[in-house]
Amino acid sequence: MTVHISDHYYDPYKHYCGLYIVSKLKLPEFGPTSELIRIFDERGIVLMSITSHQKDGLAYDFVTVDLTLKLDQKEAIENEIRKRFGDKLVHFECADTGVQGYIYNINGFPLVLNFSNTYTQAAALTSSAWKTLIMGMVKRFGTGATTILYYMGNDAGEGKGKMLSELKGPLTNAERMKIGLARLQSLGWGRFELTECDEAGKKIVVRVYDNFEAVITREMLDYQNGLVRGFLVGLVSGVFGKACRGIEEKCINRGDPYCEFVIR
C-alpha cells in the first residue's frame, strides 16, 4: 500500500484551501475526521486529501479541498465546522502558503517515525534527490564514491542495530533484525525479507525488492549498491555485537528479481 508522506498541490488556475483542525475526541458519538468528510460531501466540494492522527485525547486533521468556483462558500464552511464541533473545537486555521494555487500542510512538521509512542524525527529525501546526490559523488570521487556511501550506511546501520539490541523483552536476534528491516521499509528503502538468519550471527541473508538505491542508479553501469549494503552490514553488526562483512549476490540491475545481500 502506498503511503503519502505529504500531499502538495499546485495549479495557478485553481483555488485550493487547506484547513487545520484540532479537536477533542468524543468517540463513538463524535468522530472529527468523519464529520469533516460529511461537511464537504454535503456541499459537493471536492476533498483532495485528509491526514489525521490522534494523541492525548485530541484529533489533528489537515484537509485539502478544491474551492475553484466555490470561494464564496469558504466562510460558510468555517462557520459550519465551528457550529458542528462546538466546544470540542480546540484550534481552527486556514493554511496560506503565500503562493497562488499552491497548498500543502504548513503545520506538518516535524516528520516523525512513531515506534510504540517513541517519536524519532526523520529528514527525508526524494528518490530524485538521492539520485542527484549519488551521481554527484560518483562524478567527483569515481569508484571511491561506493566506499564513501558504504561507510555512511555502515555507521548508520550499526547505530540502529545497537538501539535494537537494547530493546526489552524476549526478542530473538532474528526478530530484532525484522524490526530493523521493517523500519527501513517504512522509510521507503525497499521491501525487505529476512530469508536466513543464524542466531549465532554466522550467516544472514536479506532480500530487497524495489531496492531504492538500485532503482535510481539503473543507468549507471557497474554501480554497486554501497549505501544499502553498508547499512545492512552495520545493522547486523549492531544487533549481534560482532564485526561483519557483506556482499551483494543478486541485483535487480543484473536482471535478478530482487537484490540479495549475504552478511557473515
End-to-end CA distance of the chain: 32
The predicted model gives 239-257 an average pLDDT of 95
Any residues with CB less than 8 A from the CB of 119 and at least 6 apart, and which? 112, 113
Tell me the helices (H) and strands (E) count for the chain, helix number first: 7, 12
User: Which residues in the chain belong to E strands, given as ranges?
Assistant: 9-10, 16-24, 46-55, 58-66, 89-95, 102-103, 111-115, 118-122, 191-197, 204-209, 246-250, 259-263
C-alpha dist (Å) from residue 10 to 41, 80, 187: 23, 27, 25
pLDDT in tens, 186-234: 999 999 999 999 888 789 999 999 999 999 999 998 898 999 999 999 9
Residue 206: what residue type? V
**Domains of the chain (ranges, CATH numbers):** 9-109 (3.30.70.260), 124-263 (3.30.1380.20)
Query: How far is the C-alpha of 248 from the C-alpha of 149, rounded, in Å?
Result: 15
Per cent of the chain over pLDDT 70 is 100
pLDDT in tens, 14-42: 999 999 999 998 888 889 999 999 999 99
Whether the per-residue pLDDT at 180 is higher than 80: the answer is yes
